[in-house]
Structure 1
Amino acid sequence: MATYLPRVVDSELVERLSYAGAVVIRGPKWCGKTATALQRAKSVAFMQDPDERANNMAMAEAKPSLLLRGEKPRLIDEWQEAPQLWDAVRFAVDRSDEPGQFMLTGSATPTAQPQHTGTGRFSFLDMRTMSLFESGESTGEVSLGELFGQGDHIPNDETHVEGHSEQDVENLSYLICRGGWPRAITIANENAALKMSRDYLSAIAEEDISRVDGVSRNSQYARLIMQAYARCSATQADMGTVRGNLKTRGSGLSRETVDSYVGALRRLYVIEDVSAWTPSLHARSRITTTPVRFFTDPSIAAAALGASPELLLRDMSTYGLLFENLCVRDLRVYAEPLGGKVLHYRDNTGLEADCVIALDDGRYSLLEVKMSARLVDEGAANLRKLAGKIDASIMGAPSFCAVITPGGYAYRREDGVLVVPITCLRP
């Protein structure tokens, strides 16, 4: 058995099992959901096991409760293969009223709706590919939780950060193209590791995009649409722009076709856009609410574009967009245990923040992502201007403002803005 690499969600899973009857672990295939659940499971049913699949499906149809028998917590892996298991788990949880009975893992959202929502019985845990801290490629010297003051609602104007990362732009180009796939991270051969994201793209295009809802889809169309979406990475491009990218390359697919493919990619957790943050402002400004386009892992975008680490280094514009995708992935992983979401801000004056981390208790931080040290001043000025525009009497002041960079030093500027390499950050 392969060595298990600890994940940020490990402690969160333990906590949720302590109070919820069932925990649903959601995320893209190959991101490590099953391996993480198996660390806590006392028994398991693998719904996609070729030797048992026909028997499991027959049981799910005839008497789903049979699949729930076993020592608790019991893992039902890829439960969406038999959506009726949802209601069976809900009923079993109701009858026992004990926490930590089941874990359900799934790499796709089922199209068939259960009869009951599971409110009050299920806890939902989102899992993503591995962050740089989890893969050992961030020093972890700067804690996101500590930057938020560990529960202190009063922003600390003297926040001190310190750290240094040896990772540079060349290293990051490889990490972007390799991605956070656990198997790729544990492979010693870098060329083999780079092939994982291409294999993932092929699996999605040739199999999963049709299996997710039983609708037959063209693999070539799937590849073209993912490529067009990748060209819009880290932008607020609307779907008309995505279709325009396809048209300029000779693929005039209809709106209905593109929407169908993109919808399937969402259900497979391949794409995960960043929604807009809408704070109260001093000045009147129209906030643009179009989401920013991102893949769950930057390597998917790189594979869709046919980009290698060497090609990214020759195309710094694309590099910058995919680097932002990597930062968003990691910030999502680190914010989740804090009860945080990663959002973005942009208004009609052009003022923006690449990332806003908004916690459930109302605290928030403003972040800009910059590829080079010479752009840090620009990012810091932008953040200060936005912070001054927010109505602090309603929203409170930001817990901190930070410019996220690839590597180098973590420090606090004289203007109070933090500079934090993504390769120094941890939860």
Structure 2
Amino acid sequence: MTDYRPRVVDAELGLCMAAMGAVFIDGPKAVGKTRTAVQVARSVFRMDVDEAARAALEVAPEQLFSSPTPIVFDEWQEAPRLWNLVRRAVDDHTEKGLYLLTGSSRPRDEVRVHSGAGRIARLRMRPMTLFETGHSTGEVSLQRLLEGGDPEGASSGLTIVELLERLVIGGWPDLLNAGEREAVLWLSDYLRTVVEVDVPGLGPRRNPGNITRLLSSLGRSVAAPLNLSSLAQDVGGADGPIAQETMKNYMDALERLMLIEPIPAWRPHMRSRTRLRASAVHHFVDPSLGTAALGVGTHQLLQDLNAAGLHFESLVMRDLRVYGQPLGATLASWRDTQTGHEIDAVLELPDGRWAGIEVKLGESAADAAADSLLRMASKIDQDRHGAPAALIVVTGGRFSYRRPDGVCVVPITALGP
């Protein structure tokens, strides 16, 4: 494909293919998994639409596996036995990077597959970041910040209105050149398919009306701790809350489709007996899903900047996940339940280094955000957990700089991997 736009995950894919016989690329529907995989493939089988390939898989699978490698098996979960066949084929060869599996969901509940440990690498893809869509310069490297570097680099110059428009459109490759009106229609159809086809297709007892109400409720509670009891009440409506087991079933379905990504609570060593929140904070995999579920656009967000700030936080979490993934970084949330003091995210690296992150749509709020980060860092037992590698305020503003107190202020439109 000549119109392919490079992704942060491309380099990770190359490393995985060099190390393992097969790579499983997963992620929500329409994030560009197939488009990324075919850039390095010589053979492609689309298992959701290729009836001949599915038939060959049942009677003579060796015909598929004799195709030129690397081979992409797109939407492999439509033919679940492929997983074990790929695992076996890897065992039978010494070469690396032979097979690529792509998929938008886990197999149905009753399908069992063996572990691919040591044979099949797993690589997560998410919607495109502002850097990947060309709306961030990427001049301020997250990796460099975590290594102690200064935030030096210009923003792309997006206004708050333009930034909120990008939030509503989202990071979907199909919407790269779309306006907000076209994007709203696309996203409405995307969610309708999720509600009517994708979630019910994962198993029984998944009511489309309930799922629609759940998505709206999640849209209203974005960037907040998950409260299953409140969600169950919203979903049940006038009929009363739905059963907790049903509620967990719905949430499990959305996680299996990789549409929501809760941020777990961080539990570091503290200087005092501070009680920390244990519940996860909810975010959609892309902020556009939250606004689409609520039926709101840029105009409505401008009328409620508090809500806009929460959806902007989801956008920042999406981009941080993508930029941090090659580093092995994970995100967590932190809140002192006794005082209510919280910060938006803690980014933790495999070697134990960590960074505190606050997100503010308006750059004028950077001072308060920096104070919050410094206060939080002072409560961590740094003798046991280490000093922060960085304290970062991510804004919707224009300027990148390091404050005299050491806190870095970075516009999301300047941030990159």
Instruction: Verify same fold: TM over 0.5.
Output: yes
Measured at CA, do residues 375 and 14 of structure 1 come closer, stay the same or move farther in structure 2, by a change above 3 Å? Answer: same
**Which deviates more from structure 2 when the two are superposed, residues 161-170 or residues 272-281?**
161-170
Deviation, 1:248, is 5.3
Deviation, 1:113, is 4.8
Task: Please say if 1:70 is aligned against 2:70.
Answer: no
Structure 1: distance between partners of 2:72 and 2:39 = 10
Measured at CA, do residues 204 and 115 of structure 1 come closer, stay the same or move farther in structure 2, by a change above 3 Å? Answer: closer
8 Å CA contact 2:8–2:322 kept in 1: the answer is yes
Task: Please say if 1:383 is aligned against 2:380.
Answer: no
Structure 2: distance between partners of 1:184 and 1:2 = 17
8 Å CA contact 1:401–1:418 kept in 2: the answer is yes
Task: Please say if 1:419 is aligned against 2:409.
Answer: yes
SS at match of 1:366: strand
8 Å CA contact 1:44–1:77 kept in 2: the answer is yes
Q: Which position in structure 1 is the counterpart of 2:197?
A: 207
**Number of aligned positions between the proteins:** 415
**What is the TM-score of this pair, normalised by structure 1?**
0.93
Structure 1: distance between partners of 2:193 and 2:80 = 22
8 Å CA contact 1:404–1:419 kept in 2: the answer is yes
* Mapping of residues 85-104 of structure 1, within 5 Å: 85-104=82-101
Deviation, 1:194, is 3.2
Task: Please say if 1:105 is aligned against 2:87.
Answer: no
Q: Which position in structure 1 is the counterpart of 2:210?
A: 221
1:243-279 deviation digits (Å, cap 9, x = unpaired): 2333556664332332222211111111111111221
Q: Which position in structure 1 is the counterpart of 2:165?
A: 174
1:354-380 deviation digits (Å, cap 9, x = unpaired): 111111111111000112233211111
SS at match of 1:96: coil
* Mapping of residues 194-273 of structure 1, within 5 Å: 194-211=184-201, 213-215=202-204, 217-247=206-236, 252-273=241-262
8 Å CA contact 1:232–1:242 kept in 2: the answer is no
**Which deviates more from structure 2 when the two are superposed, residues 108-117 or residues 318-327?**
108-117
SS at match of 1:265: helix
Q: Which position in structure 1 is the counterpart of 2:79?
A: 82
8 Å CA contact 1:165–1:407 kept in 2: the answer is no
Measured at CA, do residues 329 and 390 of structure 1 come closer, stay the same or move farther in structure 2, by a change above 3 Å? Answer: same
8 Å CA contact 1:383–1:401 kept in 2: the answer is yes
SS at match of 1:104: strand
Instruction: Specify which of 149, 154, 177 is matched with residue 163 of structure 1.
Output: 154
Deviation, 1:115, is 4.6
Task: Please say if 1:10 is aligned against 2:1.
Answer: no
8 Å CA contact 1:342–1:355 kept in 2: the answer is yes
Task: Please say if 1:183 is aligned against 2:183.
Answer: no
Task: Please say if 1:282 is aligned against 2:271.
Answer: yes
Identity %: 41
1:157-185 deviation digits (Å, cap 9, x = unpaired): x7353433421221121111100000101
**Structure 2 unaligned residues grouped into runs of 5+:** none
Deviation, 1:193, is 2.9
Task: Please say if 1:348 is aligned against 2:337.
Answer: yes
**Which deviates more from structure 2 when the two are superposed, residues 297-306 or residues 372-381?**
372-381
Structure 2: distance between partners of 1:415 and 1:165 = 26
Structure 2: distance between partners of 1:61 and 1:378 = 62
1:40-67 deviation digits (Å, cap 9, x = unpaired): 1111111012xx23x3333334444443
Please tell me the residue identity of whatever aligns with 1:242: L
Q: Which position in structure 2 is the counterpart of 1:152?
A: none
8 Å CA contact 1:33–1:127 kept in 2: the answer is yes
Task: Please say if 1:23 is aligned against 2:23.
Answer: yes
Deviation, 1:2, is 6.4
8 Å CA contact 2:44–2:74 kept in 1: the answer is yes
Structure 1: distance between partners of 2:13 and 2:328 = 14
**Which deviates more from structure 2 when the two are superposed, residues 245-254 or residues 226-235?**
245-254
Q: Which position in structure 1 is the counterpart of 2:132?
A: 134
Task: Please say if 1:404 is aligned against 2:394.
Answer: yes
SS at match of 1:125: strand
Q: Which position in structure 2 is the counterpart of 1:367?
A: 357
Deviation, 1:88, is 0.5
8 Å CA contact 2:234–2:241 kept in 1: the answer is no
SS at match of 1:423: coil
Q: Which position in structure 2 is the counterpart of 1:123?
A: 121
C-alpha RMSD over aligned residues:
1.8
Please tell me the residue identity of whatever aligns with 2:383: S
1:361-420 deviation digits (Å, cap 9, x = unpaired): 111110001122332111111100111111222221111101111121011111111111
Measured at CA, do residues 368 and 218 of structure 1 come closer, stay the same or move farther in structure 2, by a change above 3 Å? Answer: same
Task: Please say if 1:334 is aligned against 2:323.
Answer: yes
**What is the TM-score of this pair, normalised by structure 2?**
0.95
8 Å CA contact 2:22–2:99 kept in 1: the answer is yes
Structure 1: distance between partners of 2:312 and 2:402 = 22
Instruction: Specify which of 44, 53, 56 is matched with residue 53 of structure 2.
Output: 56
1:113-169 deviation digits (Å, cap 9, x = unpaired): 5452111111110000000000000011200011112xxxxxx4x735343342122
Structure 1: distance between partners of 2:129 and 2:239 = 37
Please tell me the residue identity of whatever aligns with 1:303: A
Instruction: Specify which of 309, 313, 325 is matched with residue 314 of structure 2.
Output: 325
Measured at CA, do residues 287 and 61 of structure 1 come closer, stay the same or move farther in structure 2, by a change above 3 Å? Answer: farther
